[in-house]
Chain A
């Protein structure tokens, strides 16, 4: 059904993984993910959703089988290289905020790589405005509310303009209004051609955004449906 699209951005073939040798978490999972889709990964606690997301992002390496990003195996790529291909927004935004101010959070990687110029700064200002963070641009990121931190983490990842984005439980701790704002951002990303994977328990958010739903249970994909 999905082969009407171009090449898959992410290819998983027979992926097997566990944190301990004695316990397998993912059992021979195979799936192709396309940039044209917003794919949701759903399932009960402990079904292997977040583990699958971390395997997609190369944070974890499979025991057997392969995960390929744009044709390159994640076992052969360094995390820094993967970070230039995809963006990953963690469930807990506190662990991915590094800079002393909100604006600097968007710019420090470019500054580190000596690529800071007026265009990049303009892009940062645009993202701050889009994500409603302009009024707190000089604040300490860790003093922001949870919703603001979540938006800042997403904006910081988008600075690199990744072709594919993985969001792990993006609606945790967000009220209805913030959830609707996030839906608007996701729709904008979809329109811009960014591939998305959303790992979530939030049925409403998934219903509003996902074109494809992978259901996981017991470390396997038990259903692959599309809207």
Chain B
């Protein structure tokens, strides 16, 4: 299914699911949206490994629940220390909603990870999005993994200079992280410079219109998926206002 569908159909699914994740506040609706996202991800070949990576944010989610409980101050207290509510029903609901929102957005977006960047750019162009913007999207997709790799390499190199993070105070650790940006930023600027030269050598923007031999063609199944995702979106919005 993932190879057959037009990228525009996949973009429609992702757009509808992520938009609903931003609009929805109610936990029951979120559970339904999560089920729909899991289903879409299964059918359209989403990358489930992204969920495993989210485990690093577990501490942040817990912290958000506590912050919402302490400063939000609504709902029945579930855990109190003196007069201070560390955990309330309202805080728990908001924290869970935020966690679910991130899970839905990440899982839905992962549907696009296995799509070829060339097909994605072509899909955007055929939606009459300016080629320059579509190309920027393509570059972002292409360079994000490289940036991640550079960051990891710099982090390793920094530690091999004898910087033992476990023995440093928090203030010094923050300084260490600030040092990491130097090689990454320099790398980005260098790559951008090389890329712009290469693009100009290929006459990028030399003429206002670009033609492409490669064209995407929407099939009946693509229309069905796009109509289906639009229906889910409209139904979701109606439920949000109704509830």
* A interface residues (Cβ-Cβ under 8 A, vs B): 57, 59, 78-84, 86-88, 90, 92, 94-100, 108-109, 112-113, 142, 156-157, 160
Given A95-B154, A112-B168, A112-B172, does the pair A80, B159 have CB atoms closer than 8 Å?
Answer: yes
Q: Does residue B186 face the partner (Cβ distance < 8 Å to A)?
A: yes
Within the assembled complex, what's the spacing in Å between the Cα atoms of A102 and B150?
21
> Which residue on A lies nearest to B176, using beta carbons?
A112
B60: chain A residues at CB < 8 Å are none
A88: chain B residues at CB < 8 Å are 157, 160
A157: chain B residues at CB < 8 Å are 161
8 A-B pairs, CB-CB below 8 angstroms?
A: A78-B165, A80-B159, A82-B160, A84-B162, A88-B157, A92-B153, A95-B187, A109-B162
Q: Chain B 181-204 against A: per-residue CB contact (8 Å), 1 yes, 0 no?
A: 011001100100000000000000
Given A98-B182, A112-B176, does the pair A59, B161 have CB atoms closer than 8 Å?
Answer: no
- The answer on a CB contact under 8 Å between A83 and B160 is yes
- The answer on a CB contact under 8 Å between B161 and A109 is yes
Q: Does residue B175 face the partner (Cβ distance < 8 Å to A)?
A: yes
> Which residue on A lies nearest to B165, using beta carbons?
A80
B182: chain A residues at CB < 8 Å are 97-100, 142
* B interface residues (Cβ-Cβ under 8 A, vs A): 150, 153-154, 156-168, 172, 175-176, 179-180, 182-183, 186-187, 190
B162: chain A residues at CB < 8 Å are 80, 83-84, 109, 160
- The answer on a CB contact under 8 Å between B156 and A59 is yes
A87: chain B residues at CB < 8 Å are 160
> Which residue on A lies nearest to B157, using beta carbons?
A96
B187: chain A residues at CB < 8 Å are 94-95
Residue of A57, A94, A156, A160 near B186 (CB, 8 A) is A94
Given A80-B166, A90-B153, does the pair A99, B179 have CB atoms closer than 8 Å?
Answer: yes
- The answer on a CB contact under 8 Å between A80 and B150 is no
> Which residue on B lies nearest to A77, using beta carbons?
B164
CB distance from A143 to the nearest CB of B (A): 9
- The answer on a CB contact under 8 Å between A94 and B161 is no
CB distance from A102 to the nearest CB of B (A): 13
> Which residue on B lies nearest to A162, using beta carbons?
B162
> Which residue on A lies nearest to B164, using beta carbons?
A80
- The answer on a CB contact under 8 Å between B160 and A98 is no
Most chain B beta-carbon contacts within 10 A, residue among A79, A82, A86, A100:
A79
- The answer on a CB contact under 8 Å between B160 and A57 is yes
> Which residue on B lies nearest to A108, using beta carbons?
B179
B160: chain A residues at CB < 8 Å are 57, 59, 79, 82-83, 86-88
- The answer on a CB contact under 8 Å between B179 and A79 is no
A84: chain B residues at CB < 8 Å are 162, 164
Residue of A78, A92, A94 near B159 (CB, 8 A) is A78
CB distance from B167 to the nearest CB of A (A): 7
Residue of A57, A78, A92 near B164 (CB, 8 A) is A78
